[in-house]
Structures are given as C-alpha cells and as structure tokens.
Amino acid sequence: MSESDARERSETTTWDELLELARSDGAERLAQRLEELDESERVHALGRLDAEERSEVLGALPAEDAAELLGHLPDAHAAEAVEELEPSSAAEILDELESDERADLIGQLDRDSAEAILDEAAPETVESVRELLRHAEDSAGGLMITEFVAVPATWTASQLVDHLQEQIERYADYVIQYVYALGSRGELVGVLPLRDLVLARRDRRLESLMLDDPIAVPASAGLPELFELFDRFRFLGIPVVDDSGRMLGVLLREDVDEARVEQAQADELKSRGIVGGEELRTMPLFTRSGRRLSWLSINVVLNIVAASVIAASQETLSAAIALAVFLPIISDMSGCSGNQAVAVSLRELSLGLVRPAELIRVWWQEVSVGLVNGLVLGGLLGAVAWLWKGNVALGAVVAAALALNTLVAVSIGGVIPLALRRYGYDPALASGPILTTITDMCGFFLVLSLATAVLSRIAGA
Amino acid sequence: MSESDARERSETTTWDELLELARSDGAERLAQRLEELDESERVHALGRLDAEERSEVLGALPAEDAAELLGHLPDAHAAEAVEELEPSSAAEILDELESDERADLIGQLDRDSAEAILDEAAPETVESVRELLRHAEDSAGGLMITEFVAVPATWTASQLVDHLQEQIERYADYVIQYVYALGSRGELVGVLPLRDLVLARRDRRLESLMLDDPIAVPASAGLPELFELFDRFRFLGIPVVDDSGRMLGVLLREDVDEARVEQAQADELKSRGIVGGEELRTMPLFTRSGRRLSWLSINVVLNIVAASVIAASQETLSAAIALAVFLPIISDMSGCSGNQAVAVSLRELSLGLVRPAELIRVWWQEVSVGLVNGLVLGGLLGAVAWLWKGNVALGAVVAAALALNTLVAVSIGGVIPLALRRYGYDPALASGPILTTITDMCGFFLVLSLATAVLSRIAGA
C-alpha cells in the first residue's frame, strides 16, 4: 500500500470500513475486523450507521457471527436491523440465537415481519419462540431459556454421560450447570448438579444421586418473586414448570440479574422525565420530541397551577418586590430537600427496610431531619435577605418560609413513594412532579402570606 | 395455649419475637423462625431492631446461620451488628462467610474492631481477607473470591476426580464451574469446564482436555473493563491473576452483575442529592442531616447566584409584576427539558453509543428537539400569559423566553454529561445542579431583558 493510501485509510472511520467490507462481499474479513474491535467500539461503530446500513453489515456476516453481534446491540437497533433483512436471512440468524434472546427479538418486531421470519425458521425455533412469547416479558416464563438437559430419573449416571456424549453437538451451546431428572409422567422430580455427576459412581441411578423436591418456579412468577428467590439461594439456574410440574425451561441467574439492571436503568430514565421507553438519538425527531412533550406538557400545567399562588398575591409582591428574588430560591431548595427524602424512601423500599404502609414512621423520621436542615437553610437565606435589604422583616419572612417549606418538602418526599407504591403506581416516576408542585405551591404561599401579614414592615423592600 | 395467650402472641411483632427467642437462648428455634420468614420479612424485622438488638439476634444464632443472615442485611447494619459482637463470636461467623463477603465486611469495620476479630479468626480466613483488601474495592482483586480448585495440568482426569472426592468437605461450599490447571511454576495454563470433565476419559491428562491460553484478568482491572469482559464472553467466572500469571482468585459473573446493580443504585441516590453514600433512616440524626446539608448548601449558593439576575432587574419587575409569576415556571420547565437531555446522554454513554468527545454531534441532535419543544411550550405559555393579562407583549416575552431557554437547556443537558465524563468527573452527580443553575440564570435573564426591551408595551401587566 502506498503512503497516501495508508493515510487515506487511517482517515476512514471504523463504521465506514465495516460498511465497505460488508458491501465488498468480504464476509470473512468483516467478521475478522469485528472480532478485532472491543465491545464498545463495535456498539459505537454500528450506532453510527443508519438502520439500512446496519442491516447490510448484519446480512453480510455468517449467521453465527450475525447472531452474536445482534446480542450486543441496543434493542431498538437490533429490531430495526432485522426488519430490514430478507426473512430467510433473518431466520438463519434467529436459529443461531439463544432461546430468550430470540423471543425478545421477535417480540419487538412488527407482526408482519415477525411472522414472515418465523415462516422461514426451523420448527424447534418456532416452537420455542411461541412458548416464550406466551408469557409476560418480565415473568419467569418470559425470561427463561428453553435449552436444558432433562432425562428420566431411572437412568444411571453412565447412561446420562453417554447421552451427553452422543448429543455433544446439540448441547454444545447449552449452559449446563444442572441436569434435570424427570418422573414417569415427564414431570420434574429432581436436580443433579454437574459437580455431583463428576463424583458419582457410574452405575448409580439418578434418582439416588439427585436432589429431591427441587426448588422450581411457575412460568407466571413475576420479577419481585424472582429477585427474592435468587437472593435467597445461590443457584445458577432454577427450573420453570407448568401447572402439572412439567419443565418448560430454565431461569438463569444471569438473566434475572440482567432484568434487575434494566429495571434500575429504566427507573433512572423515568426519574429524569424520559417516560415513553428508551430514547436513542437515532430515533426520528418527532418520536423523540413527542415523547418528551408528553412529560413536559404535564409539568407545564402543574407549574402553572403552582404559580397561580403568586398570581393571587400580586399586591404584596408589588409592595415588596424583593420577594420575587426569593421565590425561585425557596421553591428550588424545597425541591432539593424533598428529592433527598424521595431517594431515601425509594432505597429503603427496594431494600425491604420499609413497607408501603409505614407512612407515619417514615414521616416522623423525616420531620427531625427537616427541622434541623430547615433551621440551618432558613437561617442562612434569611441572613442573606436581611444583609441585602437591611430589612429585618424580610429576613424573617424568608427564613420562616424556607424553614417551614423544608419541613413540608421532606415530609412529602419521604411519604409519597410509599403512598404511590401502596396504591400500585410507580414511585420512581411520579414522586418528582407531585413533590415539586406541592412544595412550590406551599413555598410561594408561605412567602407571600407571611409577607402579607407583616406588610407594613416589609413594604418598599 | 389459651385463647388470650394466642391473641397476645399474634400482637407481638416479628422483630420482638426474634429478640425474645435470641434472649431466651432458643438458638434452634430462632434459626427455625428465621427460616420461616421470607427474605423481605427478615430484612424488615431486623431493620426494626436497633444495632445492639440486631447484634443479640446475630450472636444467638449458630455461626453458619448468622453468616447467612449477615449476607442479607444492608452493609451498614451488618457492620454495626458485627462491631457489637464479641471478637471471638464475630470471628466464628467470619470464618463461615464466603471470601468476598468476608473482605467486604472487614473493610467496613473500624480498624480496631477489624483487627480484634482477625486475631481470633482462622489463618486461611485472615490470609484471604488481607489478600482481598490489598485491592481496590471495585477492582477484579476486590470483587473476586479466593475459593477455587486449581491442580497441576499434568494430572489425569482420574486424579482430579479422586482429589475432588477426597476434598469433598473443603469444597462443599465452593462454587465450582471450572477447574483451573497450573503449570510447573504454579502459573495458570488452562481451564477445564466441569462439563468437559464429565465427558472425559479418565486416563487423559488435563493438559490435553483443557482450554489453553485462558482469558484471565489482572487484579487491578476496574469495573468498566470487567463489564466489557462479561458482556463479551458467556463465562460464569474468570480467573484473576498476578503479574507472574499465578492465580489469586476467581471473579464470578454474579458478583460483577451485583456491582453493576449497585452502581446503578448509587447513581440513583446521587442524582437525587444523596451524595455522602447510602443513607438509612436508622442512622444518627446529625449524620443524616449533615450529609444532606453538604449537598443543600452548595445548591443554596448556586440558587442565590442564579436569583441575583432577578435582583438586578427590579425596576422591570416593578413595572410588570406579572412577570414574577412566570419566572418560576420558565426556570422549572427548562430544568425538565434539560434533565431529559441529561438522561439520554447518560444512557447513550453507558450503552457506548456516544463517546465523551462527541459534543458537537450530541449538541446538534438536541438542538432539533429543543427547537420543536421550545416552540410548542413557548407557544403554550405565551398564550396563557396573553389570555390572562390581555397583553400581547407579555405573551410574546414569555413565549420567546421559554422557547429560547428550552433550546439552551437541552443543549447544556445533552452536552454536560459528556464534558464531565471527559474530564473525569461523575456525570450522574454534577449534571443536575450545573444544568439548573445555568438554565435558571439564562431563563431569568431572557425574561427580564426581553421585558425591558418592550417595557413600554408591557408596563402595568
């Protein structure tokens, strides 16, 4: 390669490079180049392509590599890319995915694309997908994988080992930590950890080696129950059974942990006002705008309601215009104090230290902190007001208003998440706006009514 | 039991019950009662006791049950409870914990308590703890466990199985998914998944069965690298080695996933202003108050700075007092819009879709949304202002100020997390106050300077 070629090459971006390799039909070289990149470089490069280009790259890869790549993309990108592929190519990739990733992917496609792809996929794939999609996404049935090893409990260890040897191809990609033992009706009767199989005498039957009466979950079990189960036991996987005790799949610890992380990340988005699901900046402008506005429009209405308190006290404000400087300070500080209380309540709820019904106890614990902090902050701000305008009444009004509003804010902030949880609402989502609206109104009201009460002393400030 | 006894009993709270059992020397019954409770009931009941009482319950249990219980308590409660115990009792419990939990616990005790307990603990325990504590808490060395099976690569499968059988007691609580093969200098040379051991011919040497050149991490590897590694590979555990390739421990996927969840939870606390670490309401009042104030005091200063913009425009405000109603609305709405942009940036940073250096690109993607949303919100609020006071100039000022400030807010909100990450600061922590201070000042400035520009038309509103 000449020097100028080399210079030109180094200026080609990674994603352009991938696209070129995909188009030039260099499937091997493309797979190789992807392998050289680390995880974040891959995600970043593919994120810089648009949906069609991403599809091209995916379609150019061997099905196995494409499946691996797909697993690393954000859900929205993966779904888009697959929808752009020919159904037969997509089906090949689908066959290579693990059962739970497969079901997740199909579940995100529009109906027509999904059906077109399933038409081309292998029968076991289709069966597995339909089974998993029967269940809610966030339940044991939705999170489980359908790849597991289950054999009759009457088999000997020797027969089991032979079976594993024979089926070595089929089980090659399985995550096997346990072998499940079935009874005569095909129901789950025991679990044999792999380690115990290693140490077992080969002529022993599984029924004498296995752990009887194993822990299992119904397919309908929801996330809270699953978190609890995996917190309590060290298992790497728990069998999922139907009503008659037959195994449907295995729920892996790592998938439950992934659900935990995803929930925390979704809460983080919601608490900052991204409420319509994930937003990626590659999404269309009006989708992003519309979703953000759904949250902003609620907030603007709440803000107008809160500010109406100020509108009702315009004479007082006219008389002591300095108050207008302190209104935003007091409303913001109350929001801060209140949000700290919200954070602690959410945390204690998730740890199980507090229960939704324990409103009084939480309120009492917040009142003490609210008193101390209210006095400190109120004193501070009151002093600033006094120093600025030389008016003691102004300082006193500001101090009292901030102190009292801090008390109100931590009380509400501490209690709102519990009340929301108790009535089945999402505390992470709603606590913020409810809190700020109430504390804003309260703060404005306190400042302006206290000021009105001492209007003669405060006028002209 | 008489009827009145039964009634009295049902009114005893769970935690009082546990305390009674602990005091009456009913160790078996206490352990049994705890077993009957589900995870959240246990955490809740123990959370209702004070530190000394919790210690009593812990001390009354057999060491193994106490260790299990300890693993389920929040870190702060666990540390307090252990500090209250006699060092010899604490040491017994410590010996029962798994190596990483052990090290975490010791790391949280004050130095004197820690040393007193280690003096009483078994030599292997002490060695393991000191090894783990040599490393940063959030590194491979800090998260790893020291329980693993490593044998010479020259052994046969048969010798390995015999060894596992002999050591069955010692390895009983180990999480064994892989056996590690060592070279002549004791360095890691291969990994043998348990499944392959099951299928192996017993006379084969490990060196012919194992996976050569295994993936391993240095003890110093930090969380980002570890997340990447476990995202890339499906392993349940990765060996941790020192500079000369000798094994120090095993890093389990479940522990890395736990670190991921903890990081998300810590971010959630920080983004709401709980910045001094976890706050539990059982902590002393002045600890809670002081920590919250460390955040609040910064915010009050920033708020005063922002409000000084209003102070500088008191004449305009006097002339059109209605503006005072819209100042808090505009400042709050800009905060909302800005926080949405912050959320998306944090998310894209964590997904790897965007890199800290890509400020211009992100800004450009936010500007478009900011324009659309700014026009909608500005139009809405301007209409409200106009309808309220019948003053077109007021409506125009309010609309323009909110539209422009929305644009400012999403620009800053989108870009700040990237800039903070780039310069090594924590984006989840600082984005909030920086954003709101700048957008508040900007919003106040826009309203008041635009109003001043059209003062003749707006006066009297």
Does one domain contain both A108 and A175?
no
Cβ-defined contact of B353 to A279 (cutoff 8 Å): no
Q: Are residues A387 and A428 in the same domain?
A: yes
pLDDT of the residue at A256: 93
Separation of alpha carbons A150 and A181, rounded Å = 6
pLDDT value of residue A8:
46
Same domain flag for A254 and A366: no
The three-class DSSP label of residue A354 is coil
Per-residue pLDDT band at A211 (split at 50, 70, 90): very high
Does A279 map to a domain? no
pLDDT (average), residues B252-268:
88
For residue B230, the enclosing domain spans: 150-270
pLDDT at A304 over 80: yes
Say if CB B131 and CB B101 are below 8 A apart.
Answer: no
Domain end position, chosen among A228, A244, A270: A270
Has residue A68 been placed in a domain?
A: yes
A73 part of contact set with chain B, CB < 8 Å: no
Residue B171 resides in a domain: yes
Q: At A265, which CATH number?
A: 3.10.580.10
Average pLDDT over residues B93-106: 90
The pLDDT score that the predictor gives to residue A14 is: 86
> Could you tell me if residue A7 is inside a domain?
no
> Using one digit for the tens of pLDDT, what is the confidence trace for B223-247?
988 988 898 888 889 999 998 889 9
Identity of the residue in A300, A317, A381 whose CB atom sits nearest the CB atom of B381: A300
Residue A437 has pLDDT above 70, yes or no: yes
Judge whether A276 lies within some domain.
no
Same domain? B304 vs B441: yes
Q: Is the pLDDT of residue A277 over 80?
A: yes
Residue range A229-255: mean pLDDT, rounded: 90
Each residue's pLDDT tens digit, A17-59: 888 888 887 778 888 888 888 878 888 998 888 888 989 898 8
A70 shares its domain with A169: no
What pTM, to 2 d.p., does this model score? 0.86
The residue with greater pLDDT, B216 or A33, is B216
Same domain, A49 and A175: no
Cβ-contact B295, A314 below 8 angstroms: no
Confidence of residue B186 (pLDDT cuts 50, 70, 90): confident
For the segment A138-144, the average pLDDT, to the nearest whole number, is: 92
* pLDDT per position as a tens digit, B53-90: 989 898 888 888 899 888 888 888 999 899 989 999 99
pLDDT score of A1? 45
Looking at the structure, do residues A344 and A372 belong to the same domain, yes or no? yes
Q: Once rounded to an integer, what is the mean pLDDT over residues A365-375?
A: 95
Cβ distance of B194 and A199 shorter than 8 Å:
no
pLDDT, residue A267, reads: 84
- State the pLDDT confidence band at B456, using cuts at 50, 70 and 90: confident
Please report which confidence band the pLDDT of residue A289 belongs to, taking 50, 70 and 90 as the band edges: very high
Q: How confident is the model at residue B181 (pLDDT cuts 50, 70, 90)?
A: very high
pLDDT at residue A10 in the model = 53
Q: Are B44 and B109 contained in the same domain? A: yes
Domain boundary (B108, B134, B160) is at: B134
Strands B178-182 and B150-152, by their bridges, are parallel
Across the A:B interface, residue pairs with CB atoms under 8 Å apart total 314
Give the domain-ending residue among A90, A107, A134.
A134
Q: Residue holding tokens 């080696």?
A: A209
Considering the domain architecture, whether residues A433 and A292 belong to the same structural domain is answered as yes
pLDDT, chain A, mean: 89
Mean per-residue pLDDT, B96-112: 89
Residues B59 and B179 in one domain: no
Q: Residue B350 — very low, low, confident or very high, per pLDDT cuts 50/70/90?
A: confident
pLDDT of residue B440: 92
Q: State the pLDDT confidence band at A291, using cuts at 50, 70 and 90.
A: very high
Query: In this predicted model, what pLDDT tens digit does every residue of B116-168 receive, in sequence order?
Result: 999 999 998 899 898 888 898 889 999 999 889 999 999 999 999 999 999 88
Instruction: Check pLDDT > 70 for residue B257.
Output: yes
Q: How far is A2 from chain B (nearest CA, A)?
A: 31
pLDDT, average across residues A323-332: 92
Give me the number of domains chain A comprises: 3
Please say if the pLDDT value at position A320 is more than 80. Answer: yes
For the ranges B15-29, B96-110, B385-399, B440-454, the lowest mean pLDDT is seen at B15-29
CATH number at residue B82: 1.25.60.10
Q: For residues B216 and B240, is the Cβ–Cβ distance under 8 A?
A: yes
Amino acid B261: pLDDT: 86
The CATH number assigned to the domain holding A418 equals 1.10.357.20
- Residues B212, B304: one domain? no
Query: What's chain B look like in SS3?
Result: CCHHHHHHHHCCCHHHHHHHHHHCCCHHHHHHHHHHCCHHHHHHHHHHCCHHHHHHHHHHCCHHHHHHHHCCCCHHHHHHHHHHCCHHHHHHHHHHCCHHHHHHHHHHCCHHHHHHHHHHCCHHHHHHHHHHHCCCCCEHHHHCECCCCEEECCCEHHHHHHHHHHCCCCCCCCCCCEEEEECCCCEEEEEEEHHHHHHCCCCCEHHHHCEECCCCEECCCEHHHHHHHHHHCCCCEEEEECCCCEEEEEEEHHHHHHHHHHHHHHHHHHHCCCCCCCCCCCCCHHHHHHHHHHHHHHHHHHHHHHHHHHHCCHHHHHHCCCHHHHHHHHHHHHHHHHHHHHHHHHHHHHHCCCCCCCHHHHHHHHHHHHHHHHHHHHHHHHHHHHHHHCCHHHHHHHHHHHHHHHHHHHHHHHHHHHHHHHCCCCHHHHHHHHHHHHHHHHHHHHHHHHHHHCHHHHCCC
- Domain assignment present for residue B407? The answer is yes
Tell me which residue in B198, B292, B337 faces A340 most closely, judged by beta carbons. Answer: B292
**Candidates A271, A344, A384; nearest CB to B304:** A384
The answer to whether residue A145 is domain-embedded is no
Region label for B273, one of left (φ > 0), alpha (ψ between -120 and 50) or beta (otherwise): left
Interface of A with B in 291-320 (CB under 8 A): 292-293, 295-297, 299-300, 303-304, 306-308, 310-311, 314, 317-318
Q: Is the pLDDT of residue A169 over 90?
A: no
pLDDT band at A3 (very low <50, low <70, confident <90, very high): very low
Shortest CA distance to B348 belongs to which of A13, A47, A349?
A47
pLDDT at A50: 87
A-proximal residues of B, 75-104, CB under 8 Å: none
Name which of A178-182, A270-274, A395-399, B206-210 the model is least confident about. A270-274
Q: What is the pLDDT of residues B317-329, one digit of tens each?
A: 888 889 999 999 9
| Same domain membership, residue A353 and residue A244 | no
CB neighbour class for A260 (10 Å; exposed up to 12, middle 13-18, buried from 19): buried
- B90 or A173, higher pLDDT: B90
| Cβ distance of A281 and B314 shorter than 8 Å | no
Q: By the 8 A CB rule, do A413 and A337 touch?
A: yes
pLDDT tens-digit readout, B400-423: 999 999 999 999 999 999 999 999
A98-129: pLDDT as tens digits: 888 899 899 889 889 999 999 999 998 899 89
Q: How confident is the model at residue A11 (pLDDT cuts 50, 70, 90)?
A: low
Domain for residue B316, yes or no?
Answer: yes
The answer to whether the Cβ–Cβ distance between A310 and B304 falls below 8 Å is: no
- Does the distance separating the beta carbons of B372 and A44 come in below 8 Å? no
pLDDT band at A4, cuts 50/70/90?
A: very low
